[in-house]
Structure 1
Amino acid sequence: MPDTGPDTGLAARRAALDHLRGVMMDHRMMSHQPAPQGLSPHDAARAQRLALTVMRHMGRIDAVLRPYLTRRPTLAVQNLLRLGAAELLVDGSEPHGVVASLVEIAKRHPRWSRASGMVNAVLRKLDAEGRETWAKTPPQALPIWLRKPMHKAYGVDAVAAIEAAHERPVPLDITPKPGVTIDGAELLPTGSFRLAQAQVTALPGYDTGDWWVQDAAAALPAKLLGDVAGQRVLDLCAAPGGKTMQLAAAGADVTALDLSASRMKRVEENLSRTQLKATLVTADALTYQADPFDAILLDAPCSATGTIRRHPDLPFVKTSQEVESLTRLQMQMIDHAMTLLKPGGRLVYCTCSLLPNEGEHQVKAALKRHADLTILPIDPVSLGGDAHWASAEGGLRLRPDFWADRGGMDGFYMALLKRG
């Protein structure tokens, strides 16, 4: 049924509810869900933003809703209420339009129609009374399987700071080609440029390939390799290609490898837009064979828990069992990368994970397995970072609560290793 007015938002809100169902019931990341059908680009973007807002604040939303519910509704109706709460309490949307639209969605659905009166009453009370409670409610808590090892590694206060960082707006970070500046953007000490969120393709320099989007933390691993001009460098697990482009722009002879043909297509598109060159290989990183490389960058598959601020759906989909299998894969990838590295060559190992098992512990174990492998301690200050980024074994540990006054960063671990 078509929307009933010029700006009722029914289509976008329905699509947002579909996204929430896909994550909460089907355990599918939003990036893996099919695109909503029949929506304008504006409504599709709005639906995604609404769903992500709900998941970014779900713990607080549920806490604020709880006093207004005599019994727990079905998940579908609960998501309807969560969506309304997000728009009222987070976005500050006009209350009448939010309530009327969500009540209309409930009325039109055969299984939700009996709950439409309750939806109307709860959201109106929430609008009248909920903001004071909202201000006093703690941020969305991480799941226990993630919180427990992080408490052990970083402490209770640090985890609380990370959870608070996950709720804040996420800026847009850009990696420029050498010599390129981005007008109107903040130049970060590490060399990235930072903007408020914007439509990427409309920004100056996008069409001419002067830069690419890359979180400031993710831009650091390639810099650990130093001067790579003229060197043969292997970028393992390269998609979507940010680090490949960094290495190519620095003058390296880059081989970019990834298992996924569709993801390698994105690398090819990014290289074409930026007019940079690399040899692209679609293959399994564990079986790939080639002449030894001067340097290897291994951005290993991981839990991606360092990216929750940008992907708040992740805690609802990932499990501790998945992390266990990933740590085994990371170990195997490090071991195979050693066979592709020249004596004296450098290996950067990195993951966008907050879990030490995927970072510090993985490197410590690799040093024990390989007698000819040493770690080259990293000075974070020389990279434009802060001294406390350094981890005990010589790597870098970055967290979302770092640079809080600048907008934070993704959680990352990285280490620079040398063979022989």
Structure 2
Amino acid sequence: MKPPGRSHNANFRRRPAGQSAPPPEPLAPGLAARIAAAQILADTLTAGRPLEERFSGENAHARLTGLDPRDRALTRSIATVSLRRLGTIRKALGRFLDKGLPKKSGALEWTLVVAVAQILFLDLPDHAAVDLAVRAAKAEPAAAPFAALVNGVLRNIVRERQEILDGSSALDDDTPAWLAARWRANYGAATAQAIAMANRDEPTLDLSVKSDPEGWARRLGGIVLPTGSVRLESHVPVPELEGYSEGEWWVQDAAAALPARLLRASSGMRVVDLCAAPGGKSAEIALTGASLTAVDRSAERLKRLAVNFERLRMDAEIAVADALSFDAPPFDAVLLDALCTATGTIRRHPDVAWTKRLGDLAPLVALQAQLLDKAVALTKPGGLIVYCTCSLEPEEGEAHIGALLRRNPDVRRLPIEVEEIGGLAECLSPAGDLRTLPCHLRGLTPRMSGLDGFFAARLRRKS
């Protein structure tokens, strides 16, 4: 009779005492990046963690540890395009998963999503995407029984790639239904479609420069936009670009650069930037020579602002405080870049489309109204207020201004002039407010096109 505990395998051998287990076999090249992308995608969509935070700082995903820069960049590319085209990817998977995803299959969904993203949208070999997805499935106990399913589904998608792409709609597939319905209602079907198409594109790289935009455009191989920002074709890491370490410029979308400039700040003025971090708009104010107070409730985000200001060799008084409870003598000008749904930044932060919900809107609108009243209270008689949000939702923009003017007779709108925004008449509302859309400012290529979606209104407190 065979002693208990012995293997039925005739080749079984006991490991000699003191001998360590053999090291695990190294992962196939590229597999670690795919697994990291799948786990980061899962974190983003199931836990609502911002994608950007999973790639830097103390919240960076553990799976990135040990990856070389090339694999880290690949991980980011896969995760980003997976979110940007998530609707198309899920629609494609639905064609070949008649019964849906198997139950209790672990990370199978995310393994499939990142593999389909590679097959449909990235310039990577199909066989590598399929093989590494199968390996990723086999590496996880819950997903391992479905490795053959992964292989079959992905091979079908490879075969029908063009049909899948031809049948994909930016608005109906790659935009959540609640947002698509709102954009159709608020902007019309054609503009809603154009917004959704712009959100599919790689975002621009825009710089706000301290001086000489034409010179910096020549040095960096870019162009000067009508608004004065410099737009680059470059894919070189930002810290490696000329002028970065010397603090000659900072990265900021061309639309995001406009609200602070509308304050007409100048040397000798006292200006407060409420909700200031990470600091791009604060830098625009500091550049004028005004005395700036930067307020934000997040100490961690203000640390980033302080680091940026040190590089830029700029000064600001930094206050960690909730804007609603912040107290100071009235200022000559107040900038309020209010917390919002951020639906105007989806081309730059594609996770926003899938992590925000319609139910998020009402609480934010209520908070924005309170913040706007606080901004007025912090403004001297005769002083200026600029209210802005990076949202496409009118409740977070235009509706606030009408409501404020009705409830506060001491405030009036000071219309924005088209010359102040580089002649971009399409970005001005009839009332004189700024409204940029992702489909505005089209260039010769997607990389040189578009703006973040922003609303801004300028107000004056009566003397």
TM-score by length of 1: 0.95
Q: Which amino acid aligns with 1:77?
A: L
Question: Is the contact between residue 262 and residue 420 of structure 2 (CA under 8 Å) also seen in structure 1?
Answer: no
Q: Does 1:144 align with 2:171?
A: no
From 57, 66, 69, the counterpart of 1:39: 66
Using the alignment, how far apart are the partners of 1:9 and 1:307 within structure 2?
Answer: 30
**Deviation of 1:28 (Å):** 2.3
Deviation at 1:382, TM superposition (A): 3.9
Give 2:45's match in structure 1, choosing from 9, 14, 24.
24
- Corresponding residue of 1:324: 362
- Structure 1 counterpart of 2:206: 173
Taking a change above 3 Å as real, the CA distance of residues 129 and 59 of structure 1, as seen in their structure-2 partners, is: same
Displacement of 1:143? 2.2
Q: Which residue of 1 aligns with 2:20?
A: none
Q: Where does residue 202 of structure 1 map in the other structure?
A: 240
CA distance, structure 2, for counterparts of residue 10 and residue 347 of structure 1? 52
Please give the alpha-carbon distance, in whole angstroms, between the structure 2 residues aligned to 1:72 and 1:249: 55
| 2:50 aligned partner, one-letter code | M
Residue 2 of structure 1: CA displacement? 5.4
Distance 1:323 1:3, change over 3 A: farther
Query: Matches of 1:35 and 1:185 in 2, distance apart?
Result: 31
Answer yes or no: is 1:189 the counterpart of 2:221: no
Q: Distance in 1 between matches of 2:223 and 2:433?
A: 27
For residues 414 and 36 of structure 1, what CA distance do their matches in structure 2 show? 35
2:144 partner letter: S
Amino acid at match of 1:11: A
In the alignment, which residue of structure 1 is the partner of 2:3? none
Check if 1:161 corresponds to 2:197.
Answer: no
SS in 2 for 1:309: coil
Match of 2:78 in 1: 50
Alignment of 1:349-360 (within 5 A): 349-360=387-398
Residue number in structure 2 paired with 1:135: 166
Contact 1:222 1:247 in 2 (8 A): yes
C-alpha contact (below 8 Å) 1:295/1:346 kept by paired residues = yes
The match for 1:263 is 301
Give the distance between the partners of 1:23 and 1:303, measured in 2 at CA.
Answer: 16
Which moved further from structure 2: 85-94 or 356-365?
A: 85-94
Counterpart position of 2:457:
415
1:254 aligns with 2:292: yes
Confirm or deny: 8 A CA contact 2:265 2:271 kept in the other structure. Answer: no
* 1:76 Cα offset (Å): 3.0
Specify which of 116, 119, 127 is matched with residue 88 of structure 1.
119
| 1:25 alignment partner, SS class | helix
1:352–1:249 Cα change, 3 Å: same
Partner-residue secondary structure (3-state), 1:397: strand
Contact 1:36 1:44 in 2 (8 A): no
- C-alpha distance in 2, partners of 1:157/1:80? 35
What is the letter of the counterpart of residue 319 of structure 2? V
The answer to whether residue 351 in structure 2 is matched with residue 313 in structure 1 is yes
- Counterparts in 2 of 1:84 and 1:225: CA distance versus 1, 3 Å: same
Per-residue deviation, residues 331-390 of structure 1 (Å, max 9, x unmatched):
111111111111110000000000000000011111111101011111234421421211
Residue matched to 2:152: 121
Kept in 1, the 8 Å contact 2:265–2:285? The answer is no
Shift of 1:227: 4.6
Matched, 1:335 2:354: no
Residue 273 of structure 1 pairs with residue 306 of structure 2: no
Question: Share of identical aligned residues, percent?
Answer: 40
Give how far 1:238 is off. Answer: 0.5
Rg comparison, structure with higher value: 2
Compute the displacement of 1:326 (Å).
Answer: 0.9
**Distance in 2 separating the partners of 1:135 and 1:150:** 23
1:388 and 1:208 mapped to 2: Cα distance?
36
Distance 1:125 1:97 in 2: 15
> For residue 78 of structure 1, what is the aligned residue in structure 2?
109
Q: Which runs of 5+ in 1 are unaligned?
A: none
Q: Which amino acid aligns with 1:170?
A: P
Equivalent AA in structure 2 for residue 135 of structure 1: D
Q: How far has the Cα of 1:155 moved from its partner? A: 0.8
Distance 1:95 1:141, change over 3 A: closer
Paired residues of 2:87 and 2:175 also in contact (CA < 8 A): no
| Residue of 318, 323, 338 corresponding to 1:300 | 338
Q: Does residue 344 of the first structure (1) align with residue 344 of the second (2)?
A: no
Aligned residues: 418
Which ranges of structure 2 fall in alignment gaps of 5 or more residues? 1-23
**Following superposition of structure 1 onto structure 2, how do residues 227-246 of structure 1 map, counting pairs within 5 Å?**
227-246=265-284
Q: Which residue identity does 1:232 align to in structure 2? A: R
